[in-house]
Homo-oligomer: A and B are copies of this chain.
Amino acid sequence: MAKRSQASEDWSRSLAFPGIVASCRIRLARNLRGECFPDHASPQDRERLRDLVCQKLQEVKPLKDCTMIPIESASQQALQELREAHLISTELTERGSGGALLLNPDRSLSLMINEEDHLRIQVLRKDANLRAAWRVADKMDVAIEEQVDVAFHPSYGYLTACPSNVGTGLRVSVMLHLLGLRLTDEIDAVFKALDRLGIVVRGIWGEGSEAAGHLYQLSNQQTLGETEEEIIDRLSDVAEETARQEQNARMRLIEDKPELMMDCLARALAILRNARILHSDETLDFLCALRMGADAGLVLGIEPEIFDYWSTAILPGHMQTLAKGVLEPEARDRIRAELMRRAMESVRLAD
């Protein structure tokens, strides 16, 4: 394992366009020895396991401040909001009984119970510091394994419901905004190269989803045959390389094709300012484009981070959480357009 300094852990700080990195995530899959996997367990067994886990984990320090959200009694809007925040999977929200989410106050740490596996430890960060995320996840894992007996095989490693997770049970991902590579038409070549490196690329909403906002999640394919640190360093390196390619694409655009860049920004701003109906995916597209412009000094009159705030605030679940009730899709699209018109009022393009 290559040693790396604390300073180089978060390479996103050295990017000319900080908005390229949206977030990073560590996920560890763990299962209790001698228990059926959740998909094969009875509702009673799942509920018993949840109660057992919650009781045992009371002693785990990082989980002490967590709120426990039982899936079956949570509202649809609450679940949607958690899904949009990448804190919960669609699979878990559809778990009829026995599913739960433990979530710490700043939402950086969570534990899904009775998803595909009994336990899924998740650590989320808004930067690219996977090593820091790993330290938190690992600490939590150690603490959990002191309390419950986890299924581990001397040669296969951690046993999981899906064979693709066997071994370390570790999934590492970085979410990148790759609009520059899309505009320079290089994105397919980059994806092909990532595929050859064994990196999985998905849209922002996970498997099979479209890449709304040109946000792409890069994650490791293999969980077996490498140490956790090797997996993390490799994914981190590949994500950094991809982010630098994106950075280059943006610089070349600004240098060589300023009209293309300005056209993209001008259209995004014009639509956010004038549309009467806005769907969430297109709004995300435009907000991410303007964030890119703000990072480049081409979009003025607003802090770049405000675009990130809106990128989640305009999602259906988040809007309903804020409105404290159900908003029908048509009403949401109208309200979203009004919100955007007001939010973009002071924004202008450099020129």
Contact = CB atoms under 8 A, between A and B. Distances in A.
A312 B277 CA distance: 29
- The secondary-structure label for the interface of chain A is helix
A275 B271 contact: no
Interface in A304-351: 334, 337
A273 to B, nearest CB: 7
A282 to B, nearest CB: 10
B259 A270 contact: no
A329 to B, nearest CB: 13
Nearest to A262: B276
Contact of A267 (B262, B266, B275): B275
A273 B270 contact: yes
Interface string A241-282: 000000000000000000110110011011101111100000
Contacts of A270: 270-271, 273-275
Contacts of A259: 276-277, 334
B275 A266 contact: yes
A267 B274 contact: yes
Contacts of A334: 259
A276 B183 CA distance: 14
Interface string A279-304: 00000000000000000000000000
Interface residues of A, number: 16
B276 A271 contact: no
Contacts of A277: 259-260, 263
Contacts of A273: 270
Contact of A271 (B260, B262, B271, B337): B271
Nearest to A274: B270
A258 B334 CA distance: 12
A274 B334 CA distance: 22
Interface in A125-139: none
Contacts of A260: 276-277
A311 to B, nearest CB: 20
A259 B330 CA distance: 10
A207 B237 CA distance: 51
Contact of A275 (B263, B274, B276, B337): B263
Contacts of A271: 267, 270-271
A161 B331 CA distance: 57
Contacts of A263: 275-277, 337
A108 to B, nearest CB: 38
Contacts of A337: 263
Q: Which of A260, A273, A276 has the most CB of B within 10 A?
A: A276
Task: Tell which of A259, A266, A274, A337 has the most Cβ of chain B within 10 Å.
Answer: A274
8 contacts: A259-B276, A260-B276, A262-B276, A266-B276, A267-B271, A267-B274, A270-B273, A270-B274
Given A259-B334, A260-B276, A271-B271, 17 more contacts: A259-B276, A259-B277, A260-B277, A262-B276, A263-B275, A263-B276, A263-B277, A263-B337, A266-B274, A266-B275, A267-B271, A267-B274, A269-B274, A270-B271, A270-B273, A270-B274, A270-B275
